[in-house]
Amino acid sequence: MGLVLGLIVLLVGCARTDVPAVELPSTSIIDTRPTWAVITVPYLRLRGGPSSDEAVVSHLRRGDIARIIAIDARVVNLQGVVGRWYHLVAGDAEGWALNTTLEALNSEARAQNVAARLLEE
């Protein structure tokens, strides 16, 4: 009985309720979400939104490098192809493309290496 009472006193006495929440900023070390994309298909149609029903707003070609500015959380199945929509920006081109049409990377240097390799093929 004394042991149980001692554990209760220890746990209650050590409990802190005034600990503030800590929010850490997103950094390249912590954030593993890809931020760069290299187009892997010969000709990519960028859509105005994350849907194949959206209008084509721009185009990119194989080996082009784009910045990933958003990733749609929904997983879609388009004619047996399962993927997610990525919002891309490359120069004046901006729009949405399925991740199955590109290679997503977490650094611009890696994207440049992949693009160079694709253009050599």
Q: Dump pLDDT digits (tens) for 57-79.
A: 999 999 999 999 999 999 999 88
pLDDT digits (tens, 9 = 90+) for 33-61: 889 999 999 999 999 999 999 999 999 99
- Displacement of CA 55 from its chain's centroid (Å): 23
Is there a domain that residue 37 lies in?
Answer: yes
Domain with residue 53: its CATH number is: 2.30.30.40
Q: How many CB atoms lie within 10 A of CB 107?
A: 12
pTM: 0.72
SS3 107: coil
Domain range for residue 106?
31-120
Q: Is residue 9 part of a domain?
A: no
Classify residue 77: in a domain, yes or no.
yes
- Beta carbons within 8 Å of 8's beta carbon, 6+ residues apart: none
